[in-house]
Amino acid sequence: MLNQFIEREKMQRGYRSPLYPAWFWLTVVETFNYTAIRLNQLIHLRVRDIDLVHDTLFIQSEGSKSHDEHIVPIASRLRPYLEHLLEEVKTKGIRADDQLFNINRFSRRTLR
Architecture of the domain defined by 2-100: Orthogonal Bundle (1.10)
**81 neighbors 31 (Cβ within 8 angstroms):** yes
Phi, psi of 13 (to 5 degrees): -60, 130
Residue 112's pLDDT is 45
- pTM for the whole structure: 0.84
**Residue ranges of E strands in the chain:** 50-51, 56-59, 70-73
pLDDT in tens, 27-42: 999 999 999 999 999 9
